[in-house]
Homo-oligomer: A and B are copies of this chain.
Amino acid sequence: MSDDQPISPTLPGHLIRRLHQLSTQIFAQRIKDAGSDLTPVQFAALDALAARPGIDQARLAEMIAKDRATIGGVVDRLEQKGLISREVSPEDKRARVVRLTPQGQATLSHLLPVVQELQRDILPGLSAAEYDQFLALVGKATRAAEAN
């Protein structure tokens, strides 16, 4: 017979995928309610550029853990929305330095509190102590994985 229980849904990999999925859904909903349509990655890019204005795309990709191909598309779309500017680096003709436009800065300022706010709802049903515990464990695991 072949009606054993599937094992996938109980595996860490699946649970992580599912949590990621729920997280992006909540993000999309709250950002939409706030009158915007930024994706999590686009928000992360704006946030990174606010901290390091004028870095190039490769540096930006590193900061938010994407590859160069992916960041190329993200930067394209942010530029089309008028939220960032892009120009050839004076020091390195291969590189494009990127920075927030005033509109990008305004958008980020508007959304920062919204994004802070929604984080708690990504992990519903956890007590404050469990929430902190979860964050500590995820942080530990990702740091260990990145150390390789």
Contacts and interface: CB of A to CB of B under 8 A. Distances in A.
Interface of A: 2-9, 11-24, 27, 40, 43-44, 47-48, 50-53, 63-65, 100, 112, 115-116, 118-119, 122-126, 130, 133-135, 137-148
B13 A119 contact: yes
Interface residues of A: mostly helix, strand, loop or mixed?
Answer: helix
Contact of A141 (B19, B53, B64): B19
Contacts of A53: 2-3
Interface centre among A3, A6, A63, A118 (most CB of B within 10 A): A6
Number of identical protomers: 2
Contacts of A3: 51-53
B48 A112 contact: no
